[in-house]
Structure 1
Amino acid sequence: MFDDMWLPQETLRSLMEGRVFHVASSGPEDRTCVRLRTEIIEFLRCPLVGDASQANVLLRIGDTAFDSDEAYTIRRTGDAIVIEGNTSRAVLYGFYAFLRATLTGESVDDVYSAPSQAIRMVDHWDQTDGSVERGYSGASILFGTLGEDTWEDPGNFTVHDRGMDPFRHDRARLVAYARFLASVGLNAVAINNVNVRGLGASLIEHPLIEQVKEVADVFDEFGIATYLSVFFGAPRRLGGLDTSDPLDPRVRAWWAAKADAIYALIPRFGGFLVKADSEGEPGPYQYGRDHADGANMLAEALAPHGGTVIWRAFVYNSSQDWRDRGTDRARAAFDNFKALDGRFAPNVALQVKFGPIDFQNCEPLNTLIGGMERTNVVIEFEITAEYLGHQIDVNYSVPQWIRMINTDTGREPGEEGLAKNVIRAHAVDAGRTGFAAVQNVGMDRNWTGNKLAQANFYGFGRMCWDDELDAGRILDEWIAQTFPVLDGEGRSIVRAIQATSNQTYIDYTAPLGVGFMTVPHYHYGPSVDGYEYDRWGTYHFADRDGVGVDRTQATGTGYTAQYAPALAARYEDVATAPDETLLFFHHVPYTHVLHDGTSVIQHIYDTHFRGVENVRGYVEQWDRLRGRIPDEDFDNVNERLGRQLASAIEWRDQINTFFYRMSGIPDEQGRTIHR
């Protein structure tokens, strides 16, 4: 069996004793309305009656005054709770909000809620052999063989042949997963890896598209649109054409026919997710075309059906010469896409990573966010902890994400300029903007490898639905629902660990925004020079005099010029650049003094010693929960914390030793540094 995460079924059934439900719809019942009834009867085991006067929870689907077809209200009328919305999807969201409020003790006397973001999406990097690229929670929940639940990264991205039925067909797990997605307001899912390998390219055609339909039908019950990652070279690989040139009429006709066939089978299909001309994937560049040409070709195929092309902007030179100080990976997205602003079709959205490099522990905002002024943009995050501890290390990442979406781009006045708002202000179609994230689930019993990593899945969904929430509020919700057995003191222990965990991870890993310093390929554990002489463009340039990357206009790569003028000026000047990303923008001496009065080298020593001590504290705090939560949950986190402590010590010692050897400057406090 599998974990209930933040929907503890037995607790909910107990709390719902005495609740009697009634569902009223002003129109014909759709698949989501049927699911709503099923949730009441089967998930909650509550009575559902036809006579509204017999019920004390009334769910009303029909015309309201709401502008959004996803908005809902919850209000108390006498002894009854009334949940209303224009559509069955809206009322389903209201139903789960009612369950959340029941578990957290929040008032439902007068609630109105509508989603902040239109697209609220998770991307699976699952392959058709059951493996999960950058997955740390077991095998894929979508692909694979029943009973084969584990998978270990072999150090390459090989996808094995599993025959012509790659799907897992675990309906119980799939239904539970769709419930989790809908319960936090997520409305879209891409089911296969953007690095399309093996049978992944064939998911768009018979016979595999019929199996995609089985998955899509389950998601559709919960109001979730299914997307497929597609292989740009498919017309050649699958269609027998001699080209995949996006301007070739035969290629356009091939994609149009594929789209027609998909929508005939899956009418509510979401569209295509595309990684092209990136890290070895084919794309329009090989035909002398640009990304607007490629995206618009697919958009043309999907447009008659209302589908969306989500085109990743993660395009850079992945065969960089480390000797070349002029090529800057951080510039790549802007350099590749800014000139195309205004050329993308209305049903295309660029999926842009929140930072300019690759989901590091601390990055500035990607310059395309706000920089694209006539293009739909979806901001991309990574729930799976590729660079943030592999779901071994406790790392509640929601604070970082919320900082990013509240960054002022300087591209619009006031709050309109915040990243979360500017994507709507600059959109061609605001209904095709939003947030997406690489998912972190797998076949592990608790779904996420580390029980505490569930909070990032939950938190991403809640941030998508209400981007005004703060990370602390989201965390408190998750704790109350996930650990209903804990008293106030117990919840405070979990909160104390989670709330500080992101900063703790930053403290003991790569300092001041310089990034990486991880073991190549795997991205877990320290390897200070692991990528320093490699092809990936992820350098720190530490030498005897200082550390950091000069990205200024005056003496560096010129990256700072991609920002709006006020922001560019702030980052350009070492005196005003934020400390947390100082080494991202500047190469500075080890003796450079930060805004808090500490030198760079002393900051490195202090934070790495502090990070280890914080993890020691987590181990001690968690031990106080022994016997107060289920043993399986306690043991899971306890084991992970032990591994985290060992990793943090290794990070501390390697980083401190490296920089001591480089600088020759001792720790002011005389702590042990291995020389």
Structure 2
Amino acid sequence: MTAGDRNDVHPAWLPPEAFRALGARRTLVTGDGPLVETVYREVAQACASYGGGVRRSGSDDGGDPVDLVLALTSAGPLPAAAEEVAAGRRQRAGTLGAEGFLLARHCDVTVVLAEQPAGLLYGLFQVVRLGESAFGAGHPPRSHRPATRLRMLDHWDNVDVHPVMGQVERGYAGGSIFWRDGVRRDLSRVRDYGRLLAAVGVNAVSVNNVNVHATEARLLTDRLDDVAAIADVLRPYGIRVHLSVTFAAPVLLGGLPTADPLDERVRTWWAGTTRRVYERIPDFGGYVVKADSEGQPGPFSYGRSHADGANLLADALAPFSGVVHWRAFVYNHRQDWRDRTTDRARAAFDHFAPLDGRFRDNVILQVKHGPMDFQPREPVSPVIAAMPATRLAVEFQVTQEYTGQQRHVCYLGPWWSEVLRFGPWGDGGPTVAAVATGARDGGSPGGGLVAVSNVGDDPYWTGHPLAQANLYAFGRLAWDPGLDPVAVLDEWIDLTFPPPAAASATATAGSGPSETGGAGDHDLVRRTLHEIMDYSWRSYERYTAPLGVGFMVRPGTHYGPDVDGYEYTPWGTYHFADRDGVGVDRTRATGTGFTGQYPPPWSEVYESLDRCPDELLLFFHHVPYGHVLRSGTTVIQHIYDTHFAGVTEVAAIRRRWERLAALLDPALHARVAERLDEQLRCAEEWRDQVNTYFFRKSGVPDVHGRRIH
């Protein structure tokens, strides 16, 4: 059997032990509807394992006391404690909204109130996250609302196995959980995935590759039942399905001679096709489009703009409250590497900033968080600050295309948090999170946060078991961008590797520490995982990309070092290293002018060689190897030092993992150990190739006398 058929799928952050505190209590669930049924089913399953009880409002039970109430505010009657909490809530201004909930502790009863069923579902998982503390003192009424309305994952899955891209493009955890010769016959894995996503607040999924091939294109029409089957499984967890569509669909699927967005025949075709989608999937979310990028068709073929193309689909979706996610990842991938005026970093701004205010309200422009392509270090994309009259979604990449491909441990939560807290207009101004959430004064409603999923049919979901933390962190930061990523990692650790005292005979293999240990063992697990993961992104940066340089990877695979791999290709030029120096001059004074795409103060900061942050120096400036950084070391010595240090840090990570050999499921421990062995090997390869390359370019030896090949 393949991994997707196996019954020993790791439970990730929802092992049975995570429900112990909930399952040992007496719970009342009130309300109706599919999501409330999901809440009741989750509680009932937990109670069956841990001896508690659950009942529905109105059942003939004589009004037995309860420890937990999960209730819609429109339902009743409520126990006295819940009614008092509800009355207090009614006295306060504001609403909980479609997905919010109120959590309180009153008269020894924990109360979760929501105005809509989705809020009740998210409230349930907050109780699970809190564990025993949900039933202790110190819980004054607190409202929880998602900061973003759309919290979405894009799957780059192909229905068939593509001869070049495989089944999951840039997928590092096996095949698709959705597709195998069409939609999978057994969608139980998709149902489990829906639970995991609901537990972190994700509410939308696109189920196919943005690079839409012929088979994926047909999902919009004659294979729509396959999409509906997935939607049926995810619906009970509050997740709406979206589709990636090709802009050329009217030609490929409709037999039209054109896909011109201003052609009335094309508009009619999209309107009719979209209507049929909603007849089959009434809660369908909308379309995702990659157009005029990397060979994908788009409106440029007809002399039209991206606004023309996006608005065509928006008009078709508008009667059904659907949205179109139009990706801003558009650039010329047929560049002349000798032409230093061409700069891929400029492309998204140049294409889209002039179109601000020309998109329909239900168009969401999906912008990568950096101007390039998810490199280990990039500045924030200037597009995020350039389009106040357009709904923007900020896109992250959970699958680690350029950060170790889930063969390296690289916890990305700290980086995403850094991006979300960044102020494009300077300290004290609106942040990236404010743009995405719509909290920026005078701006358009936010488009939310989107990420490329890292899930496949591997038993551990993400290939590397520790890569699960990135998926967890994305969901939690999409719900609340202000969360501390270290605290989020703590949540993931405590749920995924619960304390031994919480273990039970029903635990799934690999779900937590050994039952033979004690609380001290769990503390060791938690402490060790923090030591391994807290700074893992910065360790990865140290042994790969110095000072903001990117794309020093093997073309095609994007894995392992190849310093000049992209330097002389049509895809772009990224470090310009020669015998005198290194870095890309993106200044207005002497370079490509990219710094001018930023508003003050960052346009001045990045323009200035003295003020530019060290970690982005080579992204914005070409400097001599002897240029002295703010740290006091030279550029060339920094390259040597960080690459040696990165390998040392990975070796320490590998040793730390061995502490846990007796405390974790042997199969899980062995999988991580194997990945760490590969990470150490690869880090050494990065160190040796990068240091040797720059030694040979510069002729400058390491001041510490270390061997450089």
Provide the secondary structure at the position in 1 that maps to 2:159: coil
Give the letter for the 1:120 counterpart.
Answer: R
* Mapped pair 1:652 → 2:656: no
Which deviates further from its counterpart, 105-114 or 495-504?
Answer: 105-114
Provide the secondary structure at the position in 2 that maps to 1:400: helix
Check conservation: 2:102, 2:143, Cα contact below 8 A. yes
Check conservation: 1:278, 1:314, Cα contact below 8 A. yes
Of 405, 409, 420 in structure 2, the residue corresponding to residue 390 of structure 1 is 405
Of 427, 434, 452 in structure 2, the residue corresponding to residue 421 of structure 1 is 434
Check conservation: 2:425, 2:602, Cα contact below 8 A. yes
Shift of 1:43: 5.6
* Mapped pair 1:275 → 2:290: yes
Check conservation: 2:435, 2:446, Cα contact below 8 A. no
Of 422, 432, 439 in structure 1, the residue corresponding to residue 453 of structure 2 is 439
* Mapped pair 1:302 → 2:317: yes
Check conservation: 2:98, 2:116, Cα contact below 8 A. yes
* Mapped pair 1:109 → 2:139: yes
Distance in 1, matches of 2:491 and 2:445, equals 28
Distance in 2, matches of 1:549 and 1:314, equals 21
Give the letter for the 1:187 counterpart.
Answer: N
* Mapped pair 1:59 → 2:70: yes
Alignment match, 2:55 = 49
Distance in 2, matches of 1:538 and 1:91, equals 50
Give the letter for the 2:111 counterpart.
Answer: V
* Mapped pair 1:613 → 2:642: no
Provide the secondary structure at the position in 2 that maps to 1:129: strand
* C-alpha distance after superposition, 1:447-504 (max 9, x if no partner): 0000100000000000001111111111111111111135212210111000011000
Give the direction of change, closer, same or farther, for the CA distance of 1:429–1:602 in structure 2 (3 Å limit): closer
Alignment match, 1:171 = 187
Equivalent positions of 1:94-243 (< 5 A) are 94-102=123-131, 109-110=139-140, 111-129=142-160, 131-144=167-180, 162=181, 166-206=182-222, 208-243=223-258
Shift of 1:21: 2.0
Provide the secondary structure at the position in 2 that maps to 1:560: helix
Query: What's the % identity of the aligned pairs?
Result: 48
Check conservation: 2:153, 2:450, Cα contact below 8 A. yes
Give the direction of change, closer, same or farther, for the CA distance of 1:101–1:623 in structure 2 (3 Å limit): same
Of 347, 352, 370 in structure 2, the residue corresponding to residue 355 of structure 1 is 370
Alignment match, 1:458 = 472
Give the letter for the 1:95 counterpart.
Answer: L
Equivalent positions of 1:196-595 (< 5 A) are 196-206=212-222, 208-410=223-425, 414-415=428-429, 417-423=430-436, 424-425=438-439, 433-484=447-498, 485=513, 486-595=521-630
Give the letter for the 1:433 counterpart.
Answer: G
Check conservation: 2:105, 2:135, Cα contact below 8 A. no
* C-alpha distance after superposition, 1:302-349 (max 9, x if no partner): 000000011000000011110111110000000000110000000001
Provide the secondary structure at the position in 1 that maps to 2:601: helix
Provide the secondary structure at the position in 2 that maps to 1:614: helix
Shift of 1:425: 4.8
Distance in 1, matches of 2:441 and 2:673, equals 46
Check conservation: 2:393, 2:449, Cα contact below 8 A. yes
Give the direction of change, closer, same or farther, for the CA distance of 1:369–1:13 in structure 2 (3 Å limit): closer
Distance in 2, matches of 1:315 and 1:3, equals 38
Provide the secondary structure at the position in 2 that maps to 1:396: coil
Distance in 1, matches of 2:258 and 2:440, equals 35
Shift of 1:109: 1.8
Distance in 1, matches of 2:371 and 2:383, equals 9
Check conservation: 2:190, 2:233, Cα contact below 8 A. yes
Check conservation: 1:104, 1:477, Cα contact below 8 A. no
Alignment match, 1:82 = 111
Give the letter for the 1:109 counterpart.
Answer: H
Give the direction of change, closer, same or farther, for the CA distance of 1:232–1:429 in structure 2 (3 Å limit): farther
Normalising by structure 2, we get a TM-score of 0.89
Distance in 1, matches of 2:107 and 2:616, equals 54
Which deviates further from its counterpart, 427-436 or 535-544?
Answer: 427-436
> Where does the alignment leave 5 or more consecutive residues of structure 2 unmatched?
1-6, 75-89, 162-166, 499-512, 514-520
Distance in 2, matches of 1:538 and 1:305, equals 44
Distance in 2, matches of 1:104 and 1:271, equals 39
> Where does the alignment leave 5 or more consecutive residues of structure 1 unmatched?
145-161
Shift of 1:426: 6.0
Distance in 1, matches of 2:480 and 2:323, equals 23
Shift of 1:221: 1.0
Distance in 1, matches of 2:300 and 2:18, equals 53
Normalising by structure 1, we get a TM-score of 0.93
Distance in 2, matches of 1:176 and 1:427, equals 39
Alignment match, 1:34 = 37
Distance in 2, matches of 1:463 and 1:16, equals 24
Provide the secondary structure at the position in 1 that maps to 2:311: helix
Provide the secondary structure at the position in 2 that maps to 1:128: strand
Give the letter for the 1:297 counterpart.
Answer: L
Give the direction of change, closer, same or farther, for the CA distance of 1:272–1:106 in structure 2 (3 Å limit): farther
Alignment match, 1:154 = none
